[in-house]
Amino acid sequence: MRPEFEREPVRARLLGESAALTPLGGAAALVTALAPDALLLRRVLDEALSSLG
């Protein structure tokens, strides 16, 4: 949750080949990701967080 999402929600978009970012109601967003192992999943989620600023 981020207060700035209340004013300007995130755009739904793909994050690489195995993840997607979607807006949620209010000031929140959801990242859905798949990976063959936990280390790669962690990297995908970290990249998603970085893309949000």
pLDDT tens readout for residues 18-37: 899 999 888 888 999 999 99
Q: How far is Cα 2 from Cα 49, in angstroms, rounded to an integer?
A: 12
What are the extents of the domains in the chain?
3-51
Task: Find out whether 1 and 23 touch, Cβ atoms under 8 Å.
Answer: no
Position 45 confidence tier, pLDDT thresholds 50, 70, 90: very high
Q: How far is Cα 50 from Cα 53, in angstroms, rounded to an integer?
A: 5
Q: What is the mean pLDDT of residues 38-46?
A: 94
Q: What share of the chain is helix, strand, coil (3-state, %, to 5)?
A: 35, 25, 40
pLDDT of res. 2: 74
pTM, to two decimals: 0.76
Q: How far is Cα 44 from Cα 33, in angstroms, rounded to an integer?
A: 7
In the chain, beta strands by DSSP E: 13-14, 19-24, 28-33
